Amino acid sequence: MRLTAEAPTPDWDSFEFALECADMELRCYYDTVTGEVCVTGPFEDDPGERERIDADPRRYLEIDRLPAHERYQWMARFATEEVGDALLREKLLRALEGRGPFRRFKDALLSAPQERERWFAYQANALRRAIEQWFAARDLPVRAAPPWARRDGGYLHK
């Protein structure tokens, strides 16, 4: 991720929403001029937004949702690499089998509040890494570092 004074400052919170958006009717776009995230769908706040995006496709880059398999891998890595309690680790890995692993995984963590908090921190870091990778893959500069960047100017995720 490059910092440049001429680039926009992305709306980091909206970008997180866009990557995690579960509503298949919505499409999210990054405005490379303003840094805003535009959301289109059946209930648009601005009915002309879709037309603006279509009229200038180089300005607006679609933000694809994180694939389910990637989020699944985060859960599997957390369980195998971060959870020290063998019984909880096995419970989490069993939760990942079959249909509905995302809900079962979170439910399995209900009995371990400290591990549940660690999971949410782990997931947030993985999401932030994905955001940084999105910008890096497109060589898109930003004016300001994301709020999770370290104080020394480096990024948490390389």
Domain count, the chain: 2
Taking only the tens place, the pLDDT of each residue in 8-60 is 999 999 999 999 998 888 999 999 999 999 998 887 666 788 889 999 999 99
Q: Mark whether 10 and 59 lie in a shared domain.
A: yes
Main-chain phi, psi angles of 118, to 5 degrees: -65, -35
CA distance 91 to 158: 31
Please tell me the pTM assigned to this model: 0.86
Q: Mark whether 106 and 138 lie in a shared domain.
A: no
Q: Mark whether 50 and 80 lie in a shared domain.
A: no
Residue 119: exposure state from Cβ atoms within 10 A (0-12, 13-18, ≥19): buried
Q: Mark whether 98 and 43 lie in a shared domain.
A: no
Q: Mark whether 116 and 74 lie in a shared domain.
A: yes
Close Cβ partners of 89 (under 8 Å, ≥ 6 residues apart): 79, 80, 83
CB-based contact 65:21 (threshold 8 Å): yes
Q: Mark whether 8 and 60 lie in a shared domain.
A: yes
Neighbours of 130 (CB within 10 A): 18
| Stretch 130-140: mean pLDDT | 94
Using DSSP, state whether 76 is helix, strand or coil. Answer: helix
For residue 86, pLDDT over 60 is answered with yes
pLDDT score at 44: 65
CA distance 53 to 40: 9
**11 is a domain residue:** yes
Please give the DSSP secondary-structure letter assigned to residue 49.
Answer: H
Q: Mark whether 86 and 39 lie in a shared domain.
A: no
Using DSSP, state whether 109 is helix, strand or coil. Answer: helix
The whole domain housing 48 covers: 2-66+130-142
